[in-house]
A = this chain, B = another copy of it.
């Protein structure tokens, strides 16, 4: 590998002069600058970030930790984070925790060892607390995305989950639905908790009764085994006329399960959910959803992170919380019920 010493020797100057040319610091004569530049080109010099980071004590590297790389919500979020990072001159690396607290821990270790300047984290859930405490202890700035973790104050970008759930239930109720079920993520995930709360509140406001058999709390990520959903469907007697899914993945799996039983959406079962399906909802604008502004989660989160990093030391800055609105897109997955049963 070519180093600044090779350049220095060939150009007949000191390594420091080469460093000055590279970073445009100090005073350098045009003649020297040109000569050094020429030699750099000639030898295909590429600076060594690691050596640089070691002295500077900062890596110019940021990390984005998401929980499901195959979910369009997170990939769109990633695009937003990427764009914002690039705008501020940072490099961005991605990690994928798979909703798995263990994998998340591995990534946190990697992040610390890499001496990343900051992290954007969509935490796996409340059990992520120790990882966040580790980051805090090592003074790595971070911003939480999509989910809060009780016991840890920080900057955070959230969606308005409670309001979103209310809107979905209100919409179903307005279409005449009286038996509305909820399939949701784990209660150890803040957004799932809020969605459950919103669901309950909206039921009450619409004079519908809450029945815990109508609620399934499971995992937000894709599963190979649908039996949990199957037995939930078996448990509900009578079957609901509509289902609210806590995210897009759950909605898809509900559809798979229903299709397996020959139940059509929306003819025999209405379905709504959180998060859109990415560009593919364009093929067939079918699912009625709360379309969270995924790109903004990433973009705004990254902006907050960069601010934090650049104000390091001035610790006074209070934590910021951004709550993005829950906008409903009405499509065709809800049938109107004429005669209330």
**What residues of chain A have their CB less than 8 Å away from a CB belonging to chain B?**
1, 44, 46-51, 53-54, 57, 59, 69-70, 72, 75-76, 78-79, 82, 91, 93-94, 96, 109-110, 112-115, 134, 137-138, 222, 249, 251-252, 255-256, 277-280, 282-284, 286-287
Residues of B within 8 A of A51 (CB): 50, 54
Give every chain B residue within 8 A of A222 (Cβ-Cβ).
279
B46, B59, B96: which contacts A50 (Cβ < 8 A)?
B59
CB of A133, distance to nearest CB on chain B (Å):
10
In the bound complex, residues from chain B placing their C-beta under 8 Å from that of A57 are 1
* Number of copies of this protein chain within its complex: 2
Q: Tell me, rounded to whole Å, the shortest Cβ–Cβ distance linking A60 to chain B.
A: 10
Residue in B49, B94, B112 whose beta carbon sits within 8 Å of that of A113 in the complex? B49
How far is B41's CA from A134's CA once the two chains are assembled, in angstroms? 12
The 8 Å CB contact of A115, one of B49, B277, B278, is B49
CA distance A303 to B46 in the complex (A): 27
Partner of A91 from the list B72, B110, B279, B286 (CB cut-off 8 Å) is B110
Closest residue to A114 on the B side, CB-wise?
B49
Q: How many whole Å from A205's CB to the nearest CB in chain B?
A: 30
Contact at B282–A280, with CB atoms within 8 Å? no
Closest beta carbon of chain B to A69's beta carbon, Å: 5
Q: Establish whether residues B50 and A278, one from each chain, have CB atoms under 8 Å apart when the complex forms.
A: no
Inter-subunit contact A70/B76 (CB<8 Å): yes
Q: Are B286 and A284 in contact (CB under 8 A)?
A: yes
**Contact between B44 and A54, CB atoms less than 8 A apart:** no
9 A-B residue pairs with Cβ-Cβ distance under 8 Å, sorted by A, are: A50-B53, A82-B96, A91-B110, A249-B279, A251-B283, A255-B283, A256-B283, A277-B283, A284-B284
Q: How far is the CB of A262 from chain B (nearest CB, A)?
A: 14
